[in-house]
Copies of this chain bind each other. A is one copy, B any other.
Amino acid sequence: MRTELSTRLGVEHAIFGFTPFPAVAAAITRAGGFGVLGAVRYGAAEDLARDLDWMERHTGGLPYGLDVVMPARQVEGVTEADIEGMIPEGHRRFVADTLSAHGVPELAEGEASGWRITGWLEKVARSQLDVAFDYPVKLLANALGSPPADVVDRAHHHGTLVAALAGSARHARRHQEAGLDVVVAQGYEAGGHTGEIATMVLTPEVVDAVDPLPVLAAGGIGSGEQIAAGLALGAQGVWLGSVWLTTEEAELHSAALTRKLLAAGSGDTVRSRALTGKPARQLRTAWTDAWEDPDGPDPLPMPLQGLLVAEAVSRIQKYEVEPLLGTPVGQIVGRMTTTRSVQAVVDDLTRGFERAIDRINRIAGRA
């Protein structure tokens, strides 16, 4: 499964695996794919350095990437405390009431909220980049628009390709104008932040919009047949995130959440602003339902919502309060029914891809 882009990056399979877990990212790379470590959860740059050290020791010189969340525009001098101050009291009360309705215990005195997305703060993202460029990161992906121009320049200077996610052809063209090298076309069915356009429609639109830039198809891809479909749509590779969540290497640290993921069907996700303030596909839970309730408040815009719910999410995760427990995940969650190693998943993907090619060649009268 070789495209111009996969050849350029030196990977065997044009399978890009996004994951917040270093053990998963390294295993994807070792299996012949391209592991991309999500950095948004790293508050401290030292933690990222520690995990990139680990990645170095466990990828044997094979290529991998890093995914950051860096807004292109950021208001100067705004601190996290300023943003906290913009959260309405009624919203805080709604969160407290929802948690207490489900009997979610408080964190211990002085215990920090573990789930705290600070990576989107430009200061944090930049300190992550200072670390990242000490490592042979081959691809830097940005989840939230094009990165600032100086970051693109710096990456190119280091020989690092820059990618960004796009939910529309318009977004994709903006990335091209910003000098990016790769566009990840992320369809409606994907986990995490998504637009309304489904992968089947979005991929070829983006391919045409940014030609000759390489495009990765993302959203709804968790099998070799789906990889074949994504590549048939003109992509130079596929970008998979959800499918790794139930691998043996994933450090979800929650048996209850793993159980929920393995049991969920393709109809059990919802595109909700409840987690970050922007529409993100995730497991449908009592938490997302609470934010859909017309009698409750609307979620706040990003970044307010993420700050508002950070402690709540930590408490829900820590105490594994099952009805509220969720995670970003795409519609392919319906196909995630067993726990397997990353290697087994990749083997399955490549075998399924070959089967799909055999079948479509028979249909095309070429077998």
In this assembly, does A234 line the interface, its C-beta being within 8 Å of a C-beta of chain B? Answer: yes
Closest to A236 in B: B363
Interface string of A259-283 (1 = CB under 8 A from B): 0000001110000000000000000
Closest to A6 in B: B363
Complex Cα–Cα for A144 and B290 (A): 32
- How many chain copies does the complex carry? 2
Interface string of A198-233 (1 = CB under 8 A from B): 111110110000000000000111010110111111
In this assembly, does A365 line the interface, its C-beta being within 8 Å of a C-beta of chain B? Answer: yes
Complex Cα–Cα for A196 and B194 (A): 14
Question: Judging by beta carbons under 8 Å apart, are A198 and B188 in contact?
Answer: yes
In this assembly, does A161 line the interface, its C-beta being within 8 Å of a C-beta of chain B? Answer: no
Complex Cα–Cα for A200 and B187 (A): 10
Q: A363-B14, A364-B1, A364-B354 known; A189 and B204 CB under 8 Å?
A: no
CB distance from A297 to the nearest CB of B (A): 14
CB distance from A206 to the nearest CB of B (A): 10
Return chain B residues, CB-CB under 8 Å to A233. Answer: 225-226, 229, 356
Closest to A189 in B: B198
Cβ-neighbour of A198 out of B219, B230, B231, B232 (below 8 A): B219
A-B contact pairs, 28 of them (CB 8 A): A1-B364, A14-B363, A168-B267, A169-B265, A187-B198, A187-B200, A189-B197, A189-B198, A195-B267, A197-B266, A198-B198, A198-B199, A199-B200, A200-B221, A201-B330, A201-B331, A204-B226, A205-B266, A205-B335, A225-B232, A226-B233, A231-B360, A232-B359, A232-B360, A234-B356, A357-B360, A357-B361, A361-B361
Q: A189-B201, A232-B232 known; A196 and B360 CB under 8 Å?
A: no
In this assembly, does A136 line the interface, its C-beta being within 8 Å of a C-beta of chain B? Answer: no
Interface string of A1-30 (1 = CB under 8 A from B): 111000000000010000000000000000
Chain A residues proximal to chain B, CB less than 8 Å: 1-3, 14, 168-169, 187-189, 195-202, 204-205, 219-221, 223, 225-226, 228-234, 265-267, 330-332, 334-335, 353-354, 356-357, 359-361, 363-366
Complex Cα–Cα for A3 and B359 (A): 10
Question: Judging by beta carbons under 8 Å apart, are B204 and A331 in contact?
Answer: no
Return chain B residues, CB-CB under 8 Å to A197. Answer: 189, 266-267, 331
Cβ-neighbour of A357 out of B169, B223, B366 (below 8 A): B366
Residue of A3, A200, A359 with highest tally of chain B CB at under 10 A: A200
Question: Judging by beta carbons under 8 Å apart, are A267 and B196 in contact?
Answer: yes
CB distance from A273 to the nearest CB of B (A): 16
Return chain B residues, CB-CB under 8 Å to A232. Answer: 225, 228-229, 232, 356, 359-360
Complex Cα–Cα for A262 and B357 (A): 34
Q: A198-B198, A353-B364, A357-B366 known; A225 and B234 CB under 8 Å?
A: yes
Question: Judging by beta carbons under 8 Å apart, are A334 and B205 in contact?
Answer: yes
Closest to A168 in B: B267
Q: Could you list 4 further interchain pairs (A-B, Cβ under 8 angstroms) beyond the known A188-B188, A229-B230, A231-B360?
A: A14-B363, A168-B267, A187-B200, A200-B200
